[in-house]
Amino acid sequence: MRLSLLSLVLAGPLLVVSSPLASTGTRVSLAKRTKFTDENGVANIAKIRSHLRSVERKLQRGFKAFERNTGNKHRSDTRAIQKRATGADPLTDDEDGALWQGSISVGSPAKTFTVDFDTGSSDLFLPGVDCTVNCEGHTLYDPSTSSVSASTGAPFSLAFGDGSTVEGTVFTDTVTVAGLTATNQAVGDSSQYSDGFAIDEFPPDGLLGMAFPEISVFGANPFFQTLIAQGTVTSPEFGVKLATTGSELFLGGIDDSLFTGSFTQNPVTDVGFWQIDLQSVNANGRSAVTGLSSIIDTGTTLIVGDPTNVARFYEAVPGAMDASLLAGPGFFTFPCSDPPQVSLTFGGTAFPISEDTFNLGELFLGQCVGGIMSADLGTDFWVAGDVFLQNVYTSFDAGNTRVGFATLA
């Protein structure tokens, strides 16, 4: 295993930080908590639909921030995104893979919070002591108690899929993840939380984005970029394994024990999101859709694509049905007894998606919801979330602006 300053391991349902590996590594436990299905394997349509709307909102925020921060329009944002009518730190899988949770400490003296780690966004926000909407039950951030905090005076507002917002003021403070410390890190002190961040919907306290500065709503370096800039990590790369057991986030390098063979490397095409070319989406060994672009996002459970190409994919799946009238726009089903063999091709290699991760649960009469769904994200634009990522080991290389995939060990 290559030495790193940060690693994360899923060992059980509790978050436990273990002792450092020599002077350069730390392991933290992860656990899978909730699912898109009930105890009978029936799909939770309301939960899936809410997650799909949140993906749309997140990308919309990123596109707007990219344009503001760079003065350029994101290449894949060829039409407006429409809202549908209808180190090292512990991580926990929320919403059956939607987000990965771990603990961080903020301030001096340090105070511990839990956050969801998300490669599809770039900002860190926490609930503040002045928060009066949806913050009850969370650990609250009070910058006045930190001797190194400072207010930037800049307000922020983040819209989410339920139509509500997270609002507050941006501070700078010291942020530490399992021994890795970033100073003068931008932290959103939230005075209002979105409905989706209420404690019964979102047990973690906040969210920590791990994409590039170009999509930061705060207009600041994300945490991992700050670690790189301040020389804290040995390598500007982090590796991810997401699974029901043995999951790990490894910052400052990759964990050689978790994959076999070599990486298929893919250059980032637009620095902002972790966006790469997706050569094809395949059903039963044949290309159903080709020539796409995809964001690689640990903060999305689903594989989300544009309506035209998602429909084209399901046309190649025997027995598949458009379930929009029953479940809402974007939903498709396949026969539970005859699941398709699905794979995504990146860099000339087809990476299979397991039946377990593709199947989101039964909808009706032996028809199961497929893990590829559609939303109006932009022409030929897709998001590869945990339905895909749980089947590969992934390297996010900020130094070479590339994403690599390897076969899980």
Of 233, 251, 269, the position where a domain reaches its end is 251
**Could you tell me which residue, 147 or 44, shows the higher pLDDT?**
147
Residues 227 and 269 in one domain: no
Residue span of the structural domain in which 161 resides = 6-31+87-251
Q: What CA–CA distance (Å, rounded) separates 238 from 298?
A: 13
Residues 18 and 154 in one domain: yes
The residues assigned a catalytic role are 118, 297
Query: Residue 199 domain-assigned?
Result: yes
Quick one: average pLDDT of 2-8? Answer: 36
Report yes or no on 159 lying in a domain: yes
* φ and ψ at residue 340, rounded to 5 degrees: -75, 155
Q: d(Cα 18, Cα 8) in Å, to the nearest integer?
A: 10
Tokens standing for residue 334 = 């396949």
pLDDT at residue number 11: 31
The dihedral through the CA atoms of 305, 309, 314, 316 has a sign that is negative
Last residue of a domain, one of 229, 251, 273: 251
Q: What are phi and psi of 389, to 5 degrees?
A: -65, -25
Residues 6+ apart with CB under 8 A from 23: none
User: What is the rounded average pLDDT for all residues in the chain?
Assistant: 85
Provide the pLDDT for residue 75: 63
CA distance 389 to 394: 7
Question: Is 120 in the same domain as 174?
Answer: yes
pLDDT of residue 100: 66
Tokens of 231: 């020389």
Measure the CA–CA gap between 125 and 145, rounded to whole angstroms: 17
Predicted pLDDT of residue 35:
65
Q: What is the pLDDT of residue 30?
A: 45
Tell whether the model's pLDDT for residue 88 goes beyond 80.
Answer: no
Contact, 294 vs 278, CB < 8 A? Answer: yes
Instruction: Give the range with max mean pLDDT: 125-139, 172-186, 240-254.
Output: 125-139
Rounded Cα distance between 305 and 373, Å, is 6
Among 204, 219, 251, identify where a domain stops: 251
**pLDDT given at position 93:** 52
The confidence score (pLDDT) of residue 59 equals: 85
pLDDT digits (tens, 9 = 90+) for 344-363: 999 999 999 999 999 999 99
**pLDDT, mean of residues 29-56:** 74
Confidence (pLDDT) at 379 = 67
- 283 and 384 in a common domain: yes
CATH number at residue 296: 2.40.70.10
Instruction: Give the span between the Cα atoms of 297 and 274, in whole angstroms.
Output: 7
d(CA 281, CA 200): 36
pLDDT tens column, 271-312: 999 999 999 999 999 999 999 999 999 888 899 999 999 999
In a domain, 56, yes or no: no
Least confident of 62-76, 89-103, 212-226, 335-349: 89-103
| pLDDT, position 80 | 30
Q: Let me know whether 271 and 234 are in one domain.
A: no
Q: Are 30 and 247 in contact (CB under 8 A)?
A: yes
Least confident stretch, 13-22, 85-94, 121-130, 216-225: 13-22
SS3 at position 63: helix
Per-residue pLDDT averaged across 53-57, rounded?
83
Residue 13 CB neighbours (<10 A): 11
Asked whether residue 352 is domain-assigned, the answer is yes
In this structure, the answer to whether residues 279 and 190 fall within a common structural domain is no
Asked whether residue 53 is assigned to any structural domain, the reply reads no
Asked if residue 340 is part of any domain, the answer here is yes
Percent of the chain at pLDDT > 70 equals 84
Residues 106 and 152 in one domain: yes
Number of domains present in the structure of the chain: 2
| Backbone φ, ψ for residue 189 (5° rounding) | -90, 105
Compute the distance between CA of residue 297 and CA of residue 304 in angstroms, rounded to an integer: 11
